Structure 1
């Protein structure tokens, strides 16, 4: 069965009704009894969505079937986690708080494949569900994802909104928007790396979701035909007593059909077994940041040495000038000392001469 892409509807948005408890979807009998007016497409009541559009397709599945696949512990969802290489998936039961808000928490380990990053990180999702319209027309799930164990994981969360609306009894539209909610201010370079890696991971994740849902729809489309072939095969086997030749030919024909169906199923299974990983790749960006930081440290160290050298040059000049000043002062002191010594010698000589003169005068007076 072919899956259709569907653009945004232009019809007026219907107001959401009171939240419907989980599991209370209309039965097939109730759905078939609805009027033609109620069979029209139901639009998502959201006024706006966070982030960019990640998925917008119509699938040959009812609203209840999509809920059971995506938001319960279904075998299909376990296989989907195996495709994504997620391990240890644990989801709590849906609970309703005093305000009537239904929510649950999911945790799992997501594998990473980076050389400079851990091999895995723990992911915690908080899912909040609300129903709108009548008779299971649709529901909205707001999913807030918090990673841990990777760089800058605590600085942002990933917000995704699932809008599932009814197209017909056997068709529903899945529309998913996703974006980043920052908790702190982050350096613009790192922010660019985070957004690029995160949106790449979201694209990979929802491409994988789209492929696995398509395989599920194809498998579902094959089930009634296989059952019909087996029924015809049983009828032909029972009529073998009456017409053995015709029975042999019929058995051969039905066997060929069954082999063809098995080959188709095996081909579809091989598609679902394709490994699709959507980890956030920070390794390359971390290496770039480390190189930039190392260069900045080396440059700052060089500038520091240059500044120290420039600061030391005036100090050396001042020291030399001070030393020269002291030498000059010492020379002056030595000169003054020498001059005083010469004056003292001259005074002593004059004193001696005066003494001699005094003695001569005294001698002459005595005569």
Structure 2
């Protein structure tokens, strides 16, 4: 067994030093955690404490828990090195990296891992686009990369469209890896129009981050889909497993002895042989006997301009089985002429697109915006809690003869 040490994720220097020891000198495995999480105790995260791990484990990352119970994922040194090699092979070779994401999540941790393995520079960006520009401006000569989530790319592009210096700094990046959630086409086009190379990534903590770039599996990674369209992944970057009791059945071995990770996502092949991710397997609900894909509901709202951060959730219903609930950013509740958007307009749009099964049981505009996780993904766990109250209010309206 190998010791496992917790490192404050806010102390990036300490994390990088511990990771260097783990990967290059046989030091303890590293578990980055935010200080407030460690102080709250393992019980608050519903994951038992771990004192030691298997000898091959170098890094432990806890999943965000935004869609399910958080799990501690054990990643071996060989998996991390394979992920680095795959990524650099797909880009312009090894390079310096801008760190703009938290290191206690896999996307941020892998930025640090790439610099440790390749011996390149790590440029830390403070919060906001100004922090990103400062980090890029301080980079030495040579290939330079960054990993961002879509909302960060959106902010960077908005600044670059208004400011020549910002535009030049954004173009200084040889590639921007974008993952964590779906990259909408309008955002991708804006980046392309500005001459920014964006690489769409797909992967997870269980695959040591992105292992599919622009729909193509990297290196020795293989992707397949079962009859229902669920995504399965195998390859050299696969995690060793979980340290916690959750996630039973996530790793499976086929008849040929190949070990696969069973994701929570649905996908398909495009005509040119690329991987297309359709959304989470649990995003499809049955409403009155009709299938409704919540991801498609969100996309319909995005297309209409109301839903930059729209989130559709499943709501249990005694008559329909399940129905759609919709949360929207309150700052977008305006037509171009300044008049407010009525809830009924949202309902009518979805009814026309998906039929009665897609008509939402409630529409809620959140003045504080859509709640986000630390990696700037919608906090679906928190929204599910809000949905229960919103649905009860909507049912009460129905009882009084009112409607959405």
What is the TM-score normalised by the length of structure 2?
Answer: 0.21
Give 1 or 2 for the bigger CA radius of gyration.
1
Greater helix content? 1
What is the TM-score normalised by the length of structure 1?
Answer: 0.23
Select the structure with the greater relative contact order (CA < 8 A; seq sep ≥ 6).
1
